[in-house]
Amino acid sequence: MKKNKKKTAFSFKITDLFPEDVLCCSMLAGFLLFFPSLLILSATGFNNWIGVAAERLLLLLLFIVIGSVGPALCRRILMILMMVLLFLWDGVDLFCFLQLKNQIDPSFFVLLQTTNPNECIGFLKLTLFRPANLIILFYPACALLIWFFGKQYKKWLFPLSLLFPVLFVLLFHIEPSHNGKVLNFVDRIDETLDRIAETDLEERLLEIANTGLKVTASEKEMTIILVIGESHSKVHSGLYQYPRDTNPLLKKRVENGELFVFTDVVAPHSFTMYSVPKLLTLAAHDVRGAFLEMPNIFDLTKSAGFKTFWLCNHPALTDKNMVYAPVTARADVVIHSSSGNIQKTDDALFPAFQKALDDPAPLKLIVLQLIGSHHDYEQTYPSDKTFFALDSAPEFFNEEQKKNRRVVNAYDNSIRYNDYILDQFISRFAKNGKPGFLLYLPDHGENLYEQPGLFMHMEFMPTLQSVEIPMYLYLHPAHPDKSLVESVRHRPFASEDLPYLLLHLGKLNYAGADMKKSPFSPEFKPKKRLVSNCRVDYEKLKKDGHGNLRNKDLK
């Protein structure tokens, strides 16, 4: 009788290496990792897909390893924590991509530091209900389905969910990122380290660039007043033929020959953090080097014997976090009329401005930065200064402006209040009786639904409304260049060349200045005006018709 021999076959299951609960959770982790990446990759032509895929696979492997080591309770807590962090990071990254066409990078955190809290809240109010955000709702909804039904329907639920990113890109017409590349963590770490190194180097270069400047003043007494507005749209200014009378006080000054309106001025950027550095320094699109490597208007004028003032009505905490704060800190007197994160209306600057005017120094540079028409617009003017009813919808509003009339009316009220603020500055300066001039221009413009879906301002999506800006000049009656203004106010001027105009009107002589950039100079030469960090040619932007205002419409 033959003995029965038991045959043993070698069998291996993946659950022998990894607990079954880890494998179930890894399906959810895989979805959280790959859904946002696939959507952004699909929209951007799968640029850098190898780097992104490798990163995501490594993170998934890390998740599985973490979930497989140690006591069950600890493993589950770590897995849940990791999935929550993945969801929060990629959810915010996806939101930024859908609304800003940009993933989270170092500039995102700089922007958070420097943005007024009211603007953040206002931005969220306006963007949370856009149709594309249905994708963000789908993201956690599908994750929950995989969590509860993934094991039961794993053969089709998980693979199908990864097809949705491609469908969403087609359905919502999602555009690629402005840099045309999908960033992984390595890219972001590299950019962050580069930015830190650049900042340390630039701050040392700031001191070098502004040491030993040789500037001389031709006048023994001169007051230069520069007023920098905020988000002031040329399109909504009565002085530029807006149907509403948003500039009644300044219009009277124009009619009396006291104020001069420049008709062709273009901002270099649509963001304060990029535009203001070019207003304060010799940095420009056509100049190599960062703004912290350039001479600035405070040091230039100080070297000629001027006393300098920086009077700012942006919240102090916001202003001190701005990338250009090292430049403004070089002023002799720095005053913030809005402390901490508190935001006051611009009349809060009147006491500091009057004190600066009364200062006995014969040579003075006074720079004021207004909150102007910063969003939230209703917070920039007193309620008793509401001139245009918030629920009004005049005929000249387009359909989208009528739907959003409260926002547009609040903005127009802010422009009219800005008119009052500027008129007060001019009146106080005129009463002071000192020779000099006052120049006003904003950092950039603003979109108010002149084009469908376009509101506020986007640096990487410049429009005519966001870069065409007003500029007003008040000259002391005895200023020698007063007779020239009428002949130069129509010249095409880039506001990034503002320091040269200030040097010219301030009668300051600096050998390093390229005076061909001053519209008052007989050597003035128009240049190609580039806008935004995308370096878009303004003339091409105007030719393409991305806006409603044309300089030929101005009288």
DSSP string spanning 338-404?
S-TT----GGGGHHHHHHHHH---SEEEEEEE--TTPSSGGGSS-GGG--S-TT---TTS-HHHHHT
Beta bridge partners of 19: none
- The answer to whether the beta carbons of residues 229 and 425 sit under 8 Å apart is no
In a domain? residue 507? yes
The whole-chain average pLDDT of the chain stands at 87
In a domain? residue 213? no
Q: What average pLDDT score do residues 464-493 get?
A: 94
In a domain? residue 7? no
Say if residue 254 is in the same domain as residue 106: no
pLDDT at 114: 60
Say if residue 415 is in the same domain as residue 484: yes
Q: Which residue has the higher pLDDT, 363 or 543?
A: 363
Quick check: 491 pLDDT over 80?
yes
CA distance 63 to 79: 7
Domain that holds residue 298: 221-521
Say if residue 139 is in the same domain as residue 230: no
Say if residue 401 is in the same domain as residue 515: yes
Quick check: 532 pLDDT over 50?
yes
Residues with Cβ within 8 Å of 346's Cβ and at least 6 positions away in sequence, in order, are 313, 370, 371, 372, 380, 417, 418, 421
Q: What is the pTM of this model?
A: 0.74
CA distance 542 to 308: 37
Using DSSP's 3-state secondary structure scheme, residue 285 falls into coil
Indicate the residue type of 423: D
Quick check: 9 pLDDT over 60?
no
Q: Which helix (H) or strand (E) holds 183?
A: none
Flag the least confident range among 39-43, 199-203, 387-391.
199-203
pLDDT at 108: 67
Say if residue 366 is in the same domain as residue 476: yes
Say if residue 330 is in the same domain as residue 445: yes
One-letter-per-residue 3-state SS of 117-138: HHHHHHHHHHHCCCHHHHHHHH
Q: Which helix (H) or strand (E) holds 467?
A: helix 464-467
* Number of domains comprising the chain: 2
CB atoms near residue 441 (< 10 Å): 23
pLDDT at 221: 96
Q: What's the pLDDT band for 145 if we cut at 50, 70, 90?
A: confident
Distance of CA 172 to CAs 133, 141, 431, Å? 10, 18, 58
CATH number, position 452? 3.40.720.10
SS3 content of the chain, % helix, strand, coil (to 5): 50, 10, 40
Say if residue 495 is in the same domain as residue 399: yes
Q: Which residue has the higher pLDDT, 119 or 365?
A: 365
Quick check: 552 pLDDT over 50?
no
Q: Which residue has the higher pLDDT, 3 or 545?
A: 545
In a domain? residue 333? yes
In a domain? residue 549? no
- The answer to whether the beta carbons of residues 422 and 227 sit under 8 Å apart is yes
Q: For residue range 192-220, what is the model confidence (pLDDT) as tens digits?
A: 666 666 666 667 788 888 999 999 999 99
Say if residue 131 is in the same domain as residue 226: no
pLDDT at 113: 61
Quick check: 12 pLDDT over 50?
no
Tell me which residue of 541, 545, 550 sits closest to 270, measured CA to CA. Answer: 541
Share of the chain above pLDDT 90, in %: 52
Quick check: 420 pLDDT over 80?
yes
pLDDT at 553: 38
Say if residue 368 is in the same domain as residue 431: yes
CA distance 550 to 553: 6
Q: Which helix (H) or strand (E) holds 213?
A: none
Q: What's the pLDDT band for 463 if we cut at 50, 70, 90?
A: very high
Q: What's the pLDDT band for 160 if we cut at 50, 70, 90?
A: confident
Q: Which residue has the higher pLDDT, 167 or 516?
A: 516
Structure tokens belonging to residue 518: 């001053």
CA distance 492 to 484: 16
